């Protein structure tokens, strides 16, 4: 639920899901934790090119708080911390697989098709579009 003005409205399921996996890094973190049972902070940082240590720590803490990952701290010197995906995090696998398939399909199509922007095109010709199927459930989200 969220508030708009003084009225409380129900969230779209897409909005609800993005509260858990929104942002540029969380879905990629899930993908890397799925590939290996256990990962350490430095290992995840190496896999995610471009992420800062601070951003990775923030994303991991949020994901732990939301129950998507589990953090295990070992009392040793130097400190050892491991991350693994939880059962709730594993429920994101179908969405991750769908995103992977979509990315693969559209990347391949984009490499074979030259896209034009209708706004930049003075001749007024229509831009080319992919024939990507849209499920009816997506139409219910704003």
Q: What pLDDT band is residue 139 in, cutting at 50, 70 and 90?
A: very low
Residue 82, C-beta contacts closer than 8 angstroms, at least 6 positions apart:
38, 39, 40, 71, 72, 74
* Mean pLDDT rounded to a whole number for the chain: 80
More confident residue, 89 or 111: 89
Q: Does domain 2-113 have CATH number 1.10.10.10?
A: yes
Taking 3-state DSSP, the helix, strand and coil percentages for the chain, each rounded to the nearest 5, stand at 50, 15, 40
* Stretch among 51-60, 82-91, 109-118 having the lowest mean pLDDT: 109-118
Q: Indicate the pTM of the whole model.
A: 0.71
Say what percent of the chain tops pLDDT 90.
53
């Amino acid at each position: 639920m969220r508030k708009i003005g003084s009225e409380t409205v129900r969230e779209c399921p897409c909005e609800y899901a993005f509260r858990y996996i929104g942002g540029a890094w969380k879905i990629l973190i899930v993908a890397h934790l799925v590939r290996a049972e256990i990962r350490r902070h430095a290992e995840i940082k190496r896999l995610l090119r471009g992420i800062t240590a601070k951003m990775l720590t923030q994303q991991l803490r949020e994901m732990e708080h939301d129950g998507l990952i589990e953090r295990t701290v070992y009392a040793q010197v130097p400190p050892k911390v491991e991350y693994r995906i939880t059962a709730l995090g594993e429920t994101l696998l179908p969405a991750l697989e769908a995103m992977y398939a979509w990315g693969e399909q559209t990347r391949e199509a984009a490499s074979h098709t030259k896209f034009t922007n209708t706004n930049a095109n003075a001749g007024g010709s229509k831009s080319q579009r992919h024939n990507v199927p849209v499920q009816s459930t997506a139409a219910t989200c704003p």
